[in-house]
Structure 1
Amino acid sequence: MEQFTKVVAPAVLVLLGFYFVRQHYQQHHFVEKQQQLFGKPKHKIVMALVTAMLLSPCMEIEAYFLLAGTKGWWVMASIAILYAAITLTGMLLWVRLAYKGSLKLNWHKWEHNAGIITGITLIVTGVISFFTH
Structure 2
Amino acid sequence: MVSKVNRSEVRRNKHRRLRSRLSGTPERPRLAVFRSNNHMYAQVIDDVAGKTIVSASTLQGDVKDGLEKTNNVEAATKLGSVIAKKALDNGIKEVVFDRGGYIYQGKVKALAEAAREAGLQF
Compute the TM-score of the two structures, normalised by the length of structure 2: 0.23
Q: Which has the higher strand share?
A: 2
